[in-house]
Structure 1
């Protein structure tokens, strides 16, 4: 009898099939059952686990417990529950390959495909994983170039994100006893302006108030309503209204118009000195604490109605943060998942935040180093994996109570100008350890360097007996304000009559910080610099880079002549390097015989000595042009010192 259809042929000799399976370079897994028991793993899969024993026959949760909290097991559960394949691109996974408890970072693209029994019921799944770490790191390295960063920034500056950035805080305060981090992402691919907001307000009594809220709806109207509520809340907190009074003020204001009505909010006030915490909310998801020992503790809030609905404000809850504990506030866009209950989303959020904060990560990763930064960055990143992104705007604000405030900064620098390099390195490191944002670090290091340069150049007709040219101190107060003093013991000599560049140091200091005081007496001169400090906040779309960029401030001056008669300069231009800079520019320009463009984007210090040199070079080289991005170190200084006319028109625009 003839067959009704084609007969399925065998896959091959079993030994050959196994050998082919083993030799495939991609990672291949086969799981069975709802516990995802490993029934097959090729050589690449076993190698990705460090060839740990007992892989086959055990649930993957037992084989790789370090994946808990990274949303890997949740994705497997999703495939089993829905019976539909899931694909992912360039997901960051941390794995313990050496068995020493330290996790290594890799990036993978994967496909999870369900498998079924003959009767159609779920059997398990096959997983195909390709390691794409090298490609991801190469691409990210290329994207750090100034040109690529500028192109990406321009592409991202659409109306939506510009509106969100203008209404949200420009930064978070830098405090001696608490460290803050925030992440805001716009929903999915729609990039529709939303109503999430957050704020952090240092109070006059040394406490810190933090707020996270959510206005109903999307679009410009929701963003505008969010901005109004944020302003009302900040004003009430600064006026000392406390948690309950601030909620009451927000409730009264929200009732006035439809756009603000039914908004939700969570307000917390922390005393970083004692850890005392007071929290209240209006129909907002409850905050939780990632404890220093690696557990999650929810803060139970009383039942409360949304703002402006005429219901009474719920009483506050009282808690306490121990040193190292992290308070996490967020919006519901972070936990809402299609097909899952809110309780499941909250459980996943807490589990993910704990993992993000307590993974023993290898030093050689692109992750932020501070624990609170990793919690903010990785939690939002990982919670967006299921479903390919966040269905709604998602906001997370994390506050960590630190074990102790940073020690005050103190440094003696010699009269040798090379001491300025030591000052820059030491002050930069102190500010970075305190969590200060890059723009503030650049401004403060420049301003302190100018004050120290003035002391070294003008205070000592004869070298001091102890060899100390200036003593520099710095401290951070509970309001997030830094005070830097630069003191000398000399008698200042009058500056030379040089309208081209001298005397600009004080003007530069006043342009870089918001307070400059110069006190001169018989014992010397003390310059006091003051400024509020802020940490950067990442506001963008899902998938934006989460790693904090390095400052990359070089200590050596280097120059390189490229195409189009462009001389690229990198490193510091100060009293110790300015002559080399001046001579090289004159040499390349052949004393003015040809036009020259000097690219200053790589300059890490552009001191008053550099300003003087630029004025002199403008006089000697009529064809000289400068290139400096508006946000670069040199660009900021040039704008303060009357040298904008030297900038290329293309760069100014």
Structure 2
């Protein structure tokens, strides 16, 4: 057959077409997956590094170890079955700077065979989908309450699991906790995995993961009962062995609970002392900051309700910067594979996650415990989960971040300095965006009261701000002035909203007024949300790391739509009022305020909105604010929700 008669076409033209294909194309040969062909897009996807062709793919991109890519290639070669996945996250050092850049790909691994039918290698077809994944994530992040309610109503499984599992984990100064629960599939019945984390009466922290045999409503109900009994035992002061004994007693009364497994770990965040016991549950994994990984020693006893033998207690220590990982066996179980092999794989993947220098701008969670939990769930999902999966991670912090202690002049400009200092501290603690906004709102109101009410106009004055997070996860703020609160002469009937907002957004507010001044104490019991989902859940957004400057811009849909960004408080309300009156020609034309970019809406801003609404035509003022956000919550609390379109 001549070159022109070749069924694939002229070899030169075929080679050029292969080279210029926009998709990433690889060809591997042999059990070591030696690269025998790589087109331009494939070479560019790994940074055009030298010596690609002729080397095993493991040597070409060694940073992919631990990302479960090579394991998939091994399986395709061993089984001869093709594998396809959509929108898989891959981290690669494309520019050689030591940081791993993040991209998403849809790929297919297809085995190639010799004349005798045996697998000889494979071809790989990959399409980058990063832009579409990011667009989808942005759309999902903007979903409103009605869309979320629709999804939850449609997914009864997930709704049931969320109702039986804790909504969050405590946010503590010395121990950072992250929890993830993934339902095996959208069509699966409710499972029996459960977890909890609770601060004990002596300020130690209990971490639990358990698994009930089976699926369906009965398994979910038993799971809820076991969790309730364990929680009651722990908060009443029961020790590790006594708590497991109570669970064993309950399993003896509930046939459906027989065979359930549970692991209980109790950590002292101050010393790192750790005690634990297990009933037939996989051993927790302890990870060190230097790349060490080991499973906690001590053979577990039988499952609950099975043999009546008591659990055995073991001791260890969690050092500063170390992490302990509790998990259900659904994470590592694979057909035909021993559980010990799955545990070894878990240790390899976990150490790889901790060693990856992820580049700034990644969509991965910034905090180590969050990132570890997210990537363990994601990377072990390549073969699909046949059971529900729970991952509970606790990281001991070397030192809690230093809280702010401020002394400032009682002027509106000081409010920004309070926000900046508080934002840095909340970020160091890992406080998520929504609770951080609630803290900023309450603190801003207390500081504004000191500025506005404590001193006579023109008199010098100052106020102090103190903050702290105790070992039980209670954040306490104290704002103190040396004056005496006086009602403002303008709009006296419009006052009192600041205290009302503080009490609505905080767990406790106390105002102590005396001859030497006024002290406002605010308490927030903080939690970090537990990610419960039917798939890989997006990370909870972190608190904004910088002060967003106050800005007013004309919207794209008309000069009377004003887009407002940053804080609306005593220092900025006047500028906003002037902009609204100018846009509406003194109240003659309707004005819409887009508040999506507002980071804080204080009672001073609320007072302005009421004044603008009262002074305009009933249809003259409209507001836009994302439902579920802190600004929308303030509008609802202060009687302005009717203005939101």
**Paired residues, number:** 638
Contact 2:211 2:223 in 1 (8 A): yes
Equivalent-residue separation in structure 1 for 2:124 and 2:554 (angstroms) = 49
Shift of the 248–524 alpha-carbon distance from structure 1 to 2, 3 Å rule, reads same
1:349 and 2:342 correspond: no
> 1:456 is matched with which residue: 429, 437, 451?
451
- Alignment partner, residue 524 of structure 2: 531
Is 1:555 aligned to residue 549 of structure 2? yes
RMSD: 2.7
Paired with 2:288 and 2:203, the residues of 1 have a C-alpha distance of: 23
1:360 to 351, 357, 360: 357
d(CA) in 2 for partners of 1:541, 1:625: 38
Distance 1:31 1:225, change over 3 A: same
State how far apart, in whole Å, the 1-side matches of 2:87 and 2:397 are: 33
Contact kept? 1:500, 1:615, Cα under 8 Å: no
Gaps of 5+ in 2: none
Q: Return closer, same or farther for 1:155/1:26 CA change in 2, 3 Å cut-off.
A: same
Residues 597 and 44 of structure 1: is their aligned pair in 2 closer, same or farther, counting only changes over 3 Å? closer
SS where residue 259 of structure 1 aligns?
helix
Q: 1:191 to 1:612 in 2, by over 3 A?
A: farther
Distance 2:428 2:242 in 1: 35
Deviation of residue 142 (structure 1)?
4.3
In structure 1, the partner of 2:179 is 182
Q: Give the counterpart of 2:252 among 250, 255, 258.
A: 255
Residue 110 of structure 2 is aligned to residue 117 of structure 1? no
Worse-matched range after superposition: 168-177 or 254-263? 254-263
Q: Distance in 2 between matches of 1:81 and 1:74?
A: 10
Shift of 1:485: 1.0
How much has 1:48 moved relative to structure 2? 2.2
CA contact (8 A) 1:242 1:269 kept: no
Mapping of residues 78-227 of structure 1, within 5 Å: 78-145=75-142, 151=147, 154-157=150-153, 158-227=155-224
State the secondary structure of the residue aligned to 1:526. strand
TM-score normalised by length of structure 2: 0.92
Write the distance in 2 (CA, Å) between the matches of 1:412 and 1:166.
44
Which residue number corresponds to residue 469 of structure 1? 462
Tell me the residue number matched to 1:396.
Answer: 391
Q: What is the CA-CA distance between 1:156 and the residue it aligns to?
A: 4.3
Q: Distance in 1 between matches of 2:168 and 2:149?
A: 18
Question: What is the TM-score with the length of structure 1 in the denominator?
Answer: 0.91
- How far apart in 1 are the matches of 2:43 and 2:405? 52
| Structure 2 CA distance for aligned equivalents of residues 547 and 611 of structure 1 | 28
Structure 1 position 490, deviation (Å): 2.3
Pick which of 312-321 and 375-384 moved more.
312-321
* Counterpart Cα distance in 2 of 1:581 and 1:254: 63
Give a deviation string over 1:520-565, Cα, whole Å, max 9, x none: 3343222111121111222111133246366487331435457698
Q: What's 1:64 paired with?
A: 61
Task: Report the equivalent of 2:508.
Answer: 515
C-alpha contact 2:264 2:278 (8 A) present in aligned 1 = yes
> How far, CA to CA, are the matches of 2:638 and 2:25 in structure 1?
62
Residue 379 of structure 1 and its aligned partner are, at CA, apart by 0.8
The answer to whether the 8 A contact 1:367-1:547 is kept is no
Q: What are the ranges of 5 or more consecutive residues in structure 1 without an aligned counterpart?
A: none
Separation of aligned partners in 2, 1:365 and 1:215: 36
SS at match of 1:81: helix
The alpha-carbon deviation at position 569 of structure 1 amounts to: 4.1
Of 616, 638, 642, 1:641 maps to 638
Cα distance change of structure 1 residues 244 and 527 upon mapping to structure 2, 3 Å threshold: same
Separation of aligned partners in 2, 1:473 and 1:506: 19
Alignment match of 2:601 (pick from 606, 620, 636): 606
Listed one character per residue, the Cα deviations across residues 303-336 of structure 1 (whole Å, up to 9, x for unaligned) are: 3222223421320221111111110001111112
Q: 1:563-582 residue pairs with structure 2 within 5 A? A: 569-582=564-577
